[in-house]
């Protein structure tokens, strides 16, 4: 079970066909599909694979649009910032006769070039410690597949990027959530709480800083605490740094900056958010651990190569001037300030100020954020407009948590954010299931 419980891997049985146990598929499934081939079945894994929790409201948004209502999309992390024209031009200018496979680890020229990008952010690695991947998603998958066996456990501070659940199910791994709380702005839970969750099956901790969905930026002391626990218990630290460029209030600390933890760290990276290039599908799996790297290379070889045109974009991106990020970063910061102040000005709403990324989680005076988000699309409009939010329940591994929280992605311009907040403010006033309760004191808002 991916909701903090056990995966199907717990149900390992020996098949009556005598073909041995598959670690993730119960014997009953093997029996029907392998011996007789009479019934086409969906694998156990396919059945328990979770659908994207942030896309389930899409039909309601489509129906609202058909009714002529404008929907402000604060529900998904699709940035609206223009992709740098120079990186698109680099592809336009190529004179390719045959679009070949690249090296499975990615073009050497790109890997050598991206070393200089990493150097700029204080990460010292060499080109042969990098595997270019199809988005950050594939880097996450490689990390799970290379380092974890079916039945192993990974500890992940919740709320977390919901797709980790999917990767865990694909790898037969159990996600053990550790709760971070809105009252502390989603700071890292106390390290003693991690200690309590560690079992002989625990093999890794997954972190994401700055964080999706909370926007929390881990402090140096928190990163050092994670380092110590990984060293003490021989755990991998999978570090998802998709939002590295967008740190507003604090210092960016990469897991790769942690001295003495080099062999434990796997950096899972992507250009999707960095250059507003989600469609390029370009990421990186980075590790100084040679054994892990060699294992990951076998997965990389099995899928042949990362995308060719995207690597041309990636090389051009390294050549962008360093001040390129100043514009997008200032824009996101202004949006964050507006969003957070508008939210906290609404009666009964609390939103801690996130230190990075382009997400915030807010607690609303509602009984059930899934129902409220659906109601916003189905039954509400203000000046023929409404807002689409992501219910936070999908980001928690522990059932029942996040019921009065939503995630907001500030991927719209300031004017649209203002209009979206007008909608939300009005919606909360007229929502029939509004809860009359103030959850936090003003002192927590600073």
For ligand PLP, the binding residues (CB under 6 A) are: 77, 135-137, 161, 208, 212, 240, 242, 270, 272, 278, 283
Q: Which lies closer to ligand PLP via its Cβ, residue 30 or residue 137?
A: 137
Q: Which residue has the tokens 């659906």?
A: 374
Q: Provide the minimum distance between the beta carbon of 303 and ligand PLP in the complex, in angstroms, as a whole number.
A: 14
Q: What is the closest distance, in whole angstroms, from the C-beta atom of residue 283 to ligand PLP in the complex?
A: 5
When computed from its CA atoms, the radius of gyration of the chain, rounded to whole angstroms, is 23
User: From the CB of 314, what's the least distance to ligand PLP, in Å?
Assistant: 12
Between 77 and 157, whose beta carbon lies closer to ligand PLP? Answer: 77
Closer to ligand PLP by CB, 161 or 236: give it.
161
Cβ 162 to ligand PLP shortest distance, Å: 9
64: tokens are: 């609202």
Report the residue number, 242 or 296, with the smaller CB distance to ligand PLP.
242
Q: Which is nearer to ligand PLP, 77 or 365 (CB)?
A: 77
Compute the least distance from the CB of residue 246 to ligand PLP, in Å. Answer: 11
Smaller CB separation from ligand PLP, 222 or 240: 240
State the nearest-atom distance from the C-beta of 280 to ligand PLP, in Å. Answer: 8
Q: How far is the CB of 137 from ligand PLP (least distance, A)?
A: 3
Q: Which residue is nearest to ligand PLP (CB)?
A: 135
Cα 73 from Cα 174, distance rounded (Å): 32
State which residue, 60 or 358, has the beta carbon closest to ligand PLP: 358
């Amino acid at each position: 079970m991916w909701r903090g419980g056990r995966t199907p891997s717990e149900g390992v049985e020996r098949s009556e066909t005598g073909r041995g146990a598959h670690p993730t598929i119960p014997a009953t499934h093997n029996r029907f599909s392998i011996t007789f081939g009479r019934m086409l079945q969906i694998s156990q894994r396919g059945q328990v694979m979770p659908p994207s929790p942030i896309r389930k409201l899409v039909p309601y948004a489509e129906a609202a649009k058909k009714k002529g209502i404008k929907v402000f999309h604060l529900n998904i992390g699709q940035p609206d910032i223009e992709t740098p024209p120079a990186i698109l031009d680099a592809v336009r200018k190529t004179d390719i006769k045959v679009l070949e496979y690249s090296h499975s680890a990615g073009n050497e020229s790109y890997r050598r070039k991206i070393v200089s990008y990493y150097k700029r952010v204080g990460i010292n690695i060499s080109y042969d410690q990098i595997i270019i991947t199809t988005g950050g998603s594939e880097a996450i998958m490689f990390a799970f597949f290379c380092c974890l066996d079916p039945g192993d456990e990974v500890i992940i501070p919740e709320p977390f990027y919901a797709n980790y659940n999917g990767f865990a199910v694909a790898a037969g791994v159990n996600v053990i959530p550790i709760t971070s709380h809105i009252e502390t702005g989603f700071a890292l839970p106390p390290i003693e709480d991690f200690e309590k969750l560690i079992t002989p099956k625990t093999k890794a901790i997954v972190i994401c800083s700055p964080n999706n969905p909370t926007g929390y930026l881990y402090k140096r002391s928190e990163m050092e605490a994670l380092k110590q626990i990984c060293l003490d218990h021989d755990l991998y630290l999978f570090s998802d740094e998709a939002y590295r460029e967008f740190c507003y209030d604090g210092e960016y600390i990469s897991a790769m900056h942690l001295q003495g933890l080099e062999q434990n760290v796997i950096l899972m990276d992507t250009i999707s958010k960095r250059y507003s290039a989600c469609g390029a599908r370009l990421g990186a799996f980075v590790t100084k651990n040679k054994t892990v790297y060699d294992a990951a290379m076998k997965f990389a070889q099995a899928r042949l190569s990362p995308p060719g045109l995207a690597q041309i974009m990636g090389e051009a991106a390294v050549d962008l001037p360093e001040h390129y990020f100043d514009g997008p970063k200032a824009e996101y910061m202004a949006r964050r300030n507006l969003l957070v102040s508008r939210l906290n000005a609404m009666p009964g709403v609390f939103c801690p100020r996130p230190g990075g990324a382009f997400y915030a989680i807010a607690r609303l005076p509602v009984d059930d954020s899934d129902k409220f988000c659906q109601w916003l699309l189905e039954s509400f409009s203000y000046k023929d407009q409404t807002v689409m939010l992501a219910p936070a329940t999908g980001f928690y591994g522990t059932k029942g948590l996040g019921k009065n929280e939503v995630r907001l992605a500030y991927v719209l311009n300031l004017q649209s954010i203002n209009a979206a907040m007008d909608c939300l403010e009005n919606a909360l006033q007229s929502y029939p299931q509004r809860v009359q309760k103030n959850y936090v004191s003003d002192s927590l808002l600073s």
